[in-house]
Structure 1
Amino acid sequence: MTNPLLENADLPPFSAIKPEHVKPAILQIIADNEAFVESLLKGSAEFTWDTLQLPLDTINDRLSKAWSPVGHMNAVVNSETLRKAYNDCLPLLSEYATKMSQNPRLYQAYKTIADSEAFKTYDEAQKKVIENQLRDFRLAGVTLPEAQKQEYKALKKRLSKLSSQFSDNVLDATMAWTKLITDETALSGLPESAIAASRQLAESKGHDKGWLLTLDFPSYFPVMTYCDNRSLREELYTAFCTRASEQGPGDKKLDNSDIILEILALRHQLANLLDFNNYAEYSLATKMADNCDEVIGFLEELAERSKPQAEQELSELKAYALKTFGAEDLQAWDIGYYAEKLRQARYAISQEELRPWFPAEKAIQGMFAITSRLFGVQFESVADTDTWHGDVRFFNVFRDGEVIGRFYLDLYAREHKRGGAWMDECRVRRKIIDTVQLPVAYLTCNFTPPVGDKPALLTHDEVVTLFHEFGHGLHHMLTQVDYAAVSGINGVAWDAVELPSQFMENWCWEKEALAEISGHYQTGETLPEDKLNKLLAARNFQSAMMMVRQLEFSLFDFRLHKDYKKGVDVQTVLNRVRDQVAVVRPPAFNRFQNSFSHIFAGGYGAGYYSYKWAEVLSADAFSRFEEEGIFNEQTGQSFLNEILAKGGSAEPMTLFMNFRGRKPGIDALLRHSGIA
């Protein structure tokens, strides 16, 4: 049997990849790689970039090319057999990664390079690769005694399995709950688009009549925001916020409570093994922030500056709900609903009302036009590319007539696709002798698909999400670094990696840019002046409430890992953080933490603060465009050259200061958020 995952294809042959290919391919590549490293280390005692790093890049790239489409398909076209194949490989990959990073001879080989005279002649990016490698060897316990190395290996393997299980449980618990509505009056208040989508979903599930609701965000969010039926809102809220918990929908085997405790215990053990006091310290070893106190201080200062306004915003909401609707006791499932009513009353604008002006295709083409003006690149759709689903599209990115990057775009929510939005790498840019392997990205969202003969229509919030993920994609695709380990998003400190994504969001709020991304799906008319003014006026509606909510998540994550003690009560930690920063208190049954995939399954453990940290960077970076012109060509080229093109080849603070001329400050973020 030929195995498509073992072919060194230009792009993944998605339609040919089957679950039965996965494990044999990974086993084969791991065995080949281990044998190669063994022979490489036997061959010489003196190593150079060309004799060590380049050959290792080649074998790492082969593994990445095989695993990347598997991990991606597991997230976007999940099935029982694929999930099993994926999960079976996680311990193998974890063991392999640990074996490589704990190989003392490989560590010594890198040290000989760092200590050599030739190292002084390396360019900055090469030096960064070698320094990062040595740091990562130490963080993997390369200098530990053998027994502790084995302990580290076992911990990494188990953590990898638990993270995947956490994610699977959230997906299964989300899919386990549906509700068929047979009386349309129960959906009173819902926008026409949401009603049509729920009818279409019911039909696809074989229901002749009725409207099907699920916990997927495009179904859940409109109910929480617009549905007049309070008991239905409460029912959906309860199901959503208890997913993967002891009281959530679906099989009780999907409860993530014990998994959370085990992940926390093992992370703490891992950190202690490497001489860190806690997992938060270990996490910061590869980040921009210097220490735990700096992170806590940063988050608490933002909370201190934001909470008074957040309390005022909540008071206004309660007063409005009482006066206008006689609603006395606002619960968590009421906040979004009455907030939307207040937004309407103040600004007479709603996300749903804006949909007709943001057909997906217009938003995409407008985004391309804006990016072209900023960074001098162009985009072209490529037909007949092999993909994992009929909705997926593929694009080339050009500069000066030459293709410099490519990406897949998968916009719509569907069954067996993980919720949320993300960017991931399919291929990484690296130089191979005389040629350059082009970077290829996956851009994934979960928007409402086209309904009937109408095109997909986005809310403005969804347009912002699209720009966000595209920012990550640009960081990956516009890199000019030739070394895989620091090319694109690789080697970028986790708390700086959100800078380009949040930076790109700013153009969704600029009048000149909105003219590019809006156009009524029937008439082509750009967003009318009155709606534009209302949208901009409403931009910072309840922004302090949103700020403290994000700070709640960030502080909870960081304190959970920093102050970990055996037998920790996770709910108590969360409640204490809420006492400190929250203004909206969820009900006691809320189990938000059980589906907090970012920190338990998505790489953000003791790092969720990164979103706010990077927001400070992005707001301050954008303030230079505000000063010099939002489409100023020189400023755009400066951002391209100093930030996007450099990838992880230098420290993020150095790159930021090269672009901005100074260190970042929080004032631009507070100003953009409308917080005094």
Structure 2
Amino acid sequence: MANDNPLLDLDGLPRFAHIEPSQVAPALDVMLDETRATVEARLSRAPGPGWDDAVGPLEAAETRLKRFWSPVAHLNAVADSAALREAYNAGLGRLTSYQTGYAQDERVYRAYQAVADGPDFAGLSEARRKVVTNALRDMRLSGVALPAAPKARFKAIQERLSELTSRFEQNVLDATDTFSLIIEDEARLQGIPASVLAQARAEAQRRGRDGFLLTLQAPSYVPVMTYAQDRALRRQLYEAYVTRASQAGGGRYDNTTLTDEILVLRQEAAALLGYPHYADYSLATKMARDAAEVETFLTDLARRARPAALKELADLKVMAQADGISLEAWDTAYYSERLKERRYQFSEEDLRPYFPLPRVLEGLFTLTERLYDVRIRARRDIEVWHPDVLFYEITDPDGASRAQFYLDLYARERKRGGAWMDECCVRQRHPIPSLPVAYLTCNFAAPAADHPSLLRHDEVETLFHEFGHGLHHMLTQVDEPAVSGINGVPWDAVELPSQFMENFCWERDVIDLIGGHYRTGAPVPGDLFARLRSARTFQAALQMLRQVEFALFDIRLHAGFDPTTGSVHALLEAVRDEVAVLKPPAFNRFENSFTHIFAGGYAAGYYSYKWAEVLSADAFGPFEEHGVFDRATGLAFLHNILERGGEADPRELFARFRGRAPCIDALLKQSGLYETEEGA
């Protein structure tokens, strides 16, 4: 019975404890039938010029369909199984087909155009005007104006791309989960922190093995690369990691042919719409004007960072040479940590005992409450997809509920790596009011038998980053789902709230709030914090060049490159020849696991991280001037940025908050590169 299907219960939160893969297909049948019926009923008559008559029902139907699919897509990312993957892939193809057809429906286009041309358009709210203009733009970008044959081809391309990008991501997940390495000789694990070894031993025991089990999941891989004294072990894990989903990694989950086909189809789709290449098609919805502007931005950053990066690399090579080693890619994290320890008498592991995850969460919530005048409380009465998942509610001072969020913090098998925020529900007032609800996902080490999950400082930054995305989604005051929260925000501005939040992790007052020794509660010692601060710009130039390398590769890959006549790997190598100061080994196949651009929505948009970092560094200036807990500054950021979602141009919103356009100087100073540039 349809009524028994929990996926069709859209009146409240998803009933995760009751969802089964077998329910996906029949629920999708019902939802697509209902959506089509609503759309057809609306389009069967000539649209009036008003919002309520012309496009309100269409917007509501599309929002309802997205809300239905949200838990399916989320479970596919955090609780993968063969049955769910099959149901998800089949459903995704059907959903993509429907959505592309809808975006190409000339009747839908005319309905929105009637509103745009109508006498009441100027009187609509800023949000509704933006919904209409965005919808008209996006339908043009979906081929609504194409003749019949090219329109059909564009639709087929989108359906195929949906299938390919999903397979790409699943191959990376499978390649990551398939690898494991048992180490029985503990002497080979010298240097690795005891807490990591305890987790590795527990994981081996869980699988019925003796010794220590290492994986390519971040809580295992990163400590090995950073601390393991056994160079051969570091190389073994490094090679496994950078050859995931490639022929060099065994070929079982090889993504090479997928990347080529994805690129060919993206270029064909862009050409059908008259764009010279996919990059300019992608940038039609972003702040950057075209690929040339992105190239200029990135090469300028590379020029500024390269002199300092060469010095940073030289320091690393000296350290490695002292051990009789010629520095290779599997040595950089290890010797970077040794150099940091020597230069600053500081190691990330020194801080780990001071960042127990429960204390960090409590402090993060308190910071949010003080800045934005809200309250955050846990709830235990909500269905979740795993026992470790937490659930929270955000309320206004008067107790009125404002938003909710799920928190899935720990790494495990069949869960996608990395960290992200996604939407469960979007804020809306019509036709049925609903609160914004977010999924916040990380992959930290789980608690051990004798202590809670203990975070490195960079993991604290990750948590703050994703919570920043979450606040952008949850604290919005925009009632139109298409531009509420992160919706409608240009991709190269969407990282502003997330990167902005990272800045608080470097402030003493915030460290005292989020940090305390997990056994004694003692605050982070002053000298340890001073060393942390002094190390903030450690290897900032190398890190910047690494991001520029990825972003240049991305933009050039989508700006005229033809995989039928050239090699994706060769293009990446050419970018490295231009930008990188230490090239990885020939067997490196990073591109085969670059999910951001081949599966994660960042195609021709990876530059967004550095672009938005300019905004976020500059936006933090008033907090440095007035204090990190200054309520007036926090409310100004809330009202001008977080609450406004995608209803206005981000340049305008930034200017409302900062009183001027963004300036790159703040990022250069924050990265320790401003003086380098001045002295060049």
Instruction: Give yes or no for TM over 0.5.
Output: yes
Match of 2:237 in 1: 236
- Superposed CA offset, 1:173-198 (max 9, x none): 11111111111111111000110010
Runs of 4+ in 1 over 4 A off after TM superposition: none
- Taking the TM superposition and a 5 Å limit, the aligned residue runs for 1:215-364 are 215-249=216-250, 252-323=251-322, 325-327=323-325, 329-364=326-361
Residue equivalent to 1:150:
152
- Specify the code of the residue in structure 2 equivalent to 1:601: A
- For the residue of structure 2 that corresponds to 1:212, the secondary structure is strand
Alignment partner, residue 55 of structure 1: 57
Q: 2:472, 2:645 within 8 Å by CA — same for their partners in 1?
A: yes
1:132 alignment counterpart: 134
Q: CA offset at residue 204 of structure 1?
A: 1.1
Look up the equivalent residue of 2:219 and give its one-letter code.
Answer: P
Identity of aligned residues (%): 53
1:412-561 mapped onto 2 (5 Å cutoff):
412-433=410-431, 436-561=433-558
Deviation track 1:90-109 (CA, whole Å, cap 9, x = no partner) reads 11011101111000011011
2: distance between equivalents of 1:220 and 1:385?
A: 33
Identify unmatched segments of 5+ residues in structure 1.
none
Separation of aligned partners in 2, 1:412 and 1:612 = 27
Distance 1:564 1:26 in 2: 38
What's the counterpart of residue 180 of structure 2?
178
3-state secondary structure, aligned to 1:430: coil
Deviation (angstroms), 1:44: 3.3
| TM-superposition CA deviations, 1:222-262 (whole Å, max 9, x none) | 1100001111111000000000000114xx24100000000
| Counterpart amino acid of residue 98 in structure 1 | T
2:12 corresponds to: 10
* CA displacement at 1:581 relative to structure 2: 1.1
Which residue of 1 is the match for residue 42 of structure 2? Answer: 40
Q: What CA distance in whole angstroms lies between the structure 2 residues aligned with 1:210 and 1:242?
A: 25
Q: Distance in 1 between matches of 2:472 and 2:47?
A: 37
- Residue 198 of structure 1 aligns to a residue whose secondary structure is helix
Instruction: Indicate the larger mover: 156-165 or 345-354.
Output: 345-354
Is the 8 Å Cα contact of residues 172 and 245 (structure 2) preserved in structure 1?
yes
**Corresponding residue number in structure 1 for 2:171:** 169
Equivalent residues, number: 670
Q: Which is worse superposed, 600-609 or 572-581?
A: 572-581
Q: Which amino acid aligns with 2:644?
A: K
In structure 1, distance between residues paired with 2:69 and 2:49 = 29
Amino acid at match of 1:309: A
What residue number does 1:564 align with?
561
In 1: Cα distance, 2:110 partner to 2:480 partner: 21
Find the aligned partners of 2:55 and 2:118 in 1 and give their Cα distance: 15
Return the letter of the residue paired with 1:225.
T
Q: For the residues of structure 1 that align with 2:452 and 2:570, how far apart are their CA atoms? A: 46
Conservation of the 8 A alpha-carbon contact between 2:183 and 2:213: yes
Paired with 1:666 and 1:514, the residues of 2 have a C-alpha distance of: 27
Q: Given residue 316 of structure 2, which amino acid in structure 1 is its aligned partner?
A: L
Secondary structure of the residue aligned to 2:620 is helix
For the 8 Å contact 2:319–2:339, the answer to whether it is kept is: yes
State the one-letter code of the partner of 1:318. Answer: K
Match of 2:199 in 1: 197
Q: Using the alignment, how far apart are the partners of 1:427 and 1:358 within structure 2?
A: 31
**Structure 1 residue 474 displacement after superposition:** 0.1
Does residue 652 of structure 1 match 2:645? no
Could you say what the CA RMSD is over the residues aligned between the two structures, in angstroms? Answer: 1.0
Structure 2: unaligned runs, 5 residues or longer: none
Deviation at 1:319, TM superposition (A): 1.2
Q: Please state whether the residue corresponding to 2:182 is helix, strand or coil.
A: strand
- 1: CA distance, partners of 2:532 / 2:232: 30
**Structure 1 residue identity aligned to 2:14:** P
* AA matched with 1:171: L
Map of 1:593-632 to 2, 5 A cutoff? 593-632=591-630
1:383 and 2:384 matched: no
**Partner of 2:248: helix, strand, or coil?**
coil
* Residues in 1 aligned to 2:105 and 2:68: alpha-carbon distance in whole angstroms: 23
Secondary structure of the residue that 2:392 maps to in structure 1? Answer: strand
Equivalent residue number for residue 585 of structure 1: 583
Deviations 1:539-591 (A, max 9, x none): 11111000000000000000110132242211111111111111121000000
Separation in 1, partners of 2:556, 2:608: 14
Higher mean Cα deviation, 548-557 or 562-571?
Answer: 562-571
Shift of the alpha carbon at 1:54? 2.2
**Paired residue for 2:73?**
71
Deviations along 1:624-668, whole A, 9 cap, x unmatched? 222232222211111100000000000111111111111112110
1:114 and 2:116 equivalent?
A: yes
- Tell me if structure 1 keeps the 8 A contact 2:49–2:120: no
Task: Determine the C-alpha separation between the residues in 2 that align with 1:253 and 1:27.
Answer: 34
Aligned counterparts of 1:412 and 1:349: Cα–Cα separation in 2: 26
User: TM-score when scaled to structure 2?
Assistant: 0.97
Distance 2:527 2:629 in 1: 24
Q: Which residue of 2 aligns with 1:673?
A: 671
> CA deviation digits over 1:133-191, x for unaligned, max 9?
00011001101001111100100000000000000100001111111111111111100
Residue 398 of structure 1: aligned partner? 395
Matches of 1:642 and 1:442, distance apart in 2: 24
CA distance in 1, matches of 2:187, 2:607: 42
For 1:426 and 1:637, locate their aligned partners in 2 and report how far apart those are by CA, in whole Å: 26
- SS of residue matched to 1:491: coil
User: In the alignment, which residue of structure 1 is the partner of 2:92?
Assistant: 90
- Supply the distance in 2 between the matched residues of 1:628 and 1:53 (Cα, whole angstroms): 45
Letter in 2 for 1:348: Q
CA distance in 2, matches of 1:547, 1:9: 45
Deviation at 1:50, TM superposition (A): 0.9
Question: How far off its partner does 1:58 sit?
Answer: 2.3
Matched, 1:365 2:347: no
Amino acid at match of 1:269: E
The one-letter code sitting in structure 2 at the alignment partner of 1:283 is S
Question: C-alpha separation between the residues in 2 aligned to 1:73 and 1:589?
Answer: 34
Could you give the per-residue CA deviations for residues 96-134 of structure 1, whole angstroms, max 9, x where no partner exists?
Answer: 011110000110111111001111111111110000000
Q: Is the CA contact 2:614–2:662 (under 8 Å) kept in the aligned structure 1?
A: yes
Report the Cα distance in structure 2 between the residues aligned to 1:182 and 1:198, rounded to whole angstroms: 11
Shift of 1:408: 0.3
Q: Does the Cα contact within 8 Å between 2:55 and 2:111 map onto a contact in 1? A: no
SS at match of 2:558: helix
Whole-Å Cα distance in 2 between the matches of residues 475 and 190 of structure 1? 37
User: Quick check: 2:38–2:57 contact (8 Å CA) kept in 1?
Assistant: no
**Which residue, 26, 47, 59 being the options, matches 1:24?**
26
Q: Secondary structure of 1:554's match? A: helix
Equivalent-residue separation in structure 2 for 1:15 and 1:633 (angstroms): 40
Q: Identify the residue that residue 81 of structure 1 maps to in structure 2.
A: 83
Deviation at 1:322, TM superposition (A): 1.8
